[in-house]
Amino acid sequence: MEETFAILKNKKVGLFRVDSGFCSETIMKFTEDKQIAYLISCKLYAKLQAAIY
């Protein structure tokens, strides 16, 4: 992650999107610490639906 954002230098990232295969606590903490909005796509399993609804 650090390398990717170093390549971008001072460009503003409006939204960081990952799919569930790249989802991790490390990625979420990194984006939150840098105040970058993020979106994680995943399947809407019954257990997740129950937590949401």
Cα separations (Å) of 2 from 6, 14, 24? 6, 17, 15
Q: What percent of the chain has pLDDT over 70?
A: 100
Each domain of the chain, given as residue ranges in start order, spans: 2-7+14-52
Tell how many helices (H) and how many strands (E) occur in the chain: 3, 2
Examine the pLDDT at 10 and tell me if it is beyond 90. Answer: no
Summarize pLDDT for 17-35 with one digit per residue, the tens: 999 888 888 989 999 998 9
Examine the pLDDT at 1 and tell me if it is beyond 90. Answer: no
